[in-house]
Structure formats: structure tokens, C-alpha cells
């Protein structure tokens, strides 16, 4: 990669201000209902295929490309300089690690390191989706050993580790779980329902991880970047596995060697620990 590479984390982008937090303004999303589909689609790291398919379909007029890691990108213009505008598609979550004989799911984190110290605790007793290989979203709920009914138990559960988490699908046997299409290594995430707060704000699980997809989709479709007169080459990319060490972005950087990178999303250090998180 060239020494002249400039890395910029963009929080304010084009004509809209989009905050990568729990709340995002309705105006920032642009017109129509496209943002709702992007926000409501689960995309646990390494399992971004459904979201990638939606993005490819919306950008079909721009001849999008897909590489072997699932990155979706559009290249516009020609010549130098070569600019890469990238945003991640993925979010942290879980995968099914075991199906018990009485129909519960055990899970492990993906990525294995929690994004923050409260990550597992914040999933306790929350509605969940298990995304099957056929793309179906099976409803469930995160459950665990009772903290209140076992106060005298040695090493009482605290619901702060995936070893103490279960997912209840309402099944009573392993066979019933499999008949619903659920299998080992299927991704598990919170249900992605968005909620309006006040007049102009929205919140949803994963909204802070998907806001960049909405911003770049607006750049390409609403603001019609493809019709602009560009100086040099611009590649707009939706990358995979950012939470898993930035594998998708690394793949693109090593392939196209951009002169400049504009990254729209959370900046994650592969060496950062949950204790170092704000």
C-alpha cells in the first residue's frame, strides 16, 4: 500500500450527518424504505450473504463485483488517484455450538472476544433470531440458568459469559430443533426491529454497524455518484468480517492498492480488549 495513503474515519458524510451510535436521525437515512431493509437484515461476521445480496440487487445498474470473501464493490471512473470508500456490513453475534437433547441451543461468540464487557449480559432474556442455511429467521429468546432461584449455588450464574447462555426456540428435543432447519454453526443475533424515538430518531440492534451501508447506498443511488464527473477512480465497497480482524477490508487493500481510503464506520483495533473500550 502506498505511503501516501490517507485514512479518514468519516462520521459526517456527504449531505447527511449519520451518528454511529444507538440513535440515528430519520433524515440521515434518505427517502424510501431502503434503510429499514438494510438495518433489519442480520449480518453476523462471516454470515453477511443475505445483506450482500440485497446490496448487489440495489446496485445492479452499476455492475457490482463480489470477491471470494463476499465483499461487494462498485468501481467508477478511471486513472489516478485511486480512492477507496469502504464500510463494513457485519455485526457481532453468536453461532450455535451445541443443540441439547431437550431442545436448547448453546452458543459461542463471533468474534470470540466480546465487543464490550456487557455484551453477553445485554442479550439475556432478549428476543433472538437464528438464521438457517436456507435464509429463514427462526424466532427464539436468550435464556439462562436462574440467578434468583439458585442463590446458594456454588459459582452462581451471572449471565456474563456465553457458557451461561442458552437460546430457547420453544422446542422440546434435538429433533424438533433440526426440523425447524436449525443446525450447528448457524448465526444467532438479536431480532432486528427498529423503533422510533421521538420525532426524528431511530434505534435498533446493529444500527451502529449498518449505518455506513445506508450512507454509501445513498451516495450511489440518491446522490448518483455514478453520474458525477470524477477525477480519477473511486471504488465504493461494502466489506465483510470487519469484526473478525478486518479480513474483508484487508483483502481489498491488498488487491487494489488505493492511494486514499475513506472508512465509514467504527474503527476497530485487532489488539484492543473489552477492558479498553470506552
pLDDT digits (tens, 9 = 90+) for 127-163: 999 999 999 999 999 998 776 776 676 776 777 788 8
Buried b / exposed e over 157-195, threshold 16 CB at 10 Å, is bebbebebbbbebebeebeebeebebeeebbbbbbbebe
Model confidence at 24, in pLDDT bands (50, 70, 90)? very low
Cell triple for 145: 440458568
DSSP percent split of the chain into helix, strand, coil, nearest 5:
25, 30, 45
In this structure, the strands spanning 137-144 and 127-131 are antiparallel
Assess contact for 73 and 256: CB atoms under 8 A: no
How high is the pLDDT of residue 203?
83
Name all domains of the chain by residue range, CATH numbers in brackets.
Answer: 6-90+206-267 (3.40.630.10), 93-190 (2.40.30.40)
Cell triple for 74: 462498485
Express each pLDDT in 56-101 by its tens digit: 999 999 999 999 999 999 999 999 999 999 999 999 999 999 999 9
Cell triple for 176: 424438533
Amino acid at each position: 500500500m502506498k505511503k501516501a495513503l490517507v485514512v479518514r474515519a468519516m462520521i459526517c458524510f456527504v449531505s447527511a450527518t449519520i451518528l454511529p451510535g444507538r440513535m440515528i436521525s430519520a433524515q440521515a437515512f434518505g427517502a424510501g424504505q431502503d434503510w429499514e431493509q438494510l438495518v433489519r437484515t442480520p449480518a453476523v461476521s462471516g454470515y453477511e450473504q443475505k445483506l450482500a445480496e440485497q446490496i448487489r440487487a440495489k446496485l445492479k445498474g452499476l455492475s457490482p463485483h463480489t470477491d471470494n470473501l463476499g465483499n461487494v464493490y462498485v468501481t467508477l471512473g478511471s486513472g489516478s488517484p485511486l480512492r477507496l470508500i469502504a464500510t463494513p456490513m457485519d455485526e457481532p453475534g453468536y453461532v450455535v455450538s451445541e443443540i441439547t437433547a431437550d431442545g436448547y441451543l448453546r452458543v459461542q461468540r463471533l468474534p470470540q472476544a466480546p465487543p464490550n464487557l456487557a455484551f453477553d449480559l445485554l442479550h439475556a432474556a432478549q428476543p433472538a433470531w437464528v438464521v438457517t442455511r436456507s435464509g429463514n429467521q427462526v424466532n427464539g429468546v436468550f435464556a439462562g440458568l436462574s440467578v434468583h432461584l439458585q442463590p446458594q449455588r456454588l459459582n452462581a450464574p451471572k449471565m456474563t459469559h456465553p457458557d451461561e447462555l442458552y437460546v430457547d426456540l420453544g422446542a422440546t428435543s434435538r429433533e424438533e430443533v433440526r426440523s425447524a432447519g436449525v443446525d450447528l454453526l448457524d448465526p444467532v443475533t438479536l431480532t432486528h426491529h427498529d423503533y422510533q424515538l421521538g420525532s426524528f430518531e431511530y434505534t435498533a440492534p446493529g444500527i451502529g454497524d449498518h449505518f455506513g451501508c445506508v450512507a454509501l447506498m445513498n451516495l450511489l443511488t440518491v446522490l448518483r455518484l455514478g453520474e458525477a464527473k470524477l477525477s480519477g477512480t473511486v471504488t465504493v465497497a461494502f466489506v465483510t468480517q470487519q469484526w473478525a480482524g478486518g479480513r474483508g477490508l484487508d483483502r481489498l487493500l491488498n488487491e487494489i492498492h488505493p492511494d486514499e481510503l475513506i472508512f465509514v464506520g467504527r474503527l476497530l483495533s485487532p489488539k484492543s480488549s473489552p477492558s479498553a473500550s470506552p
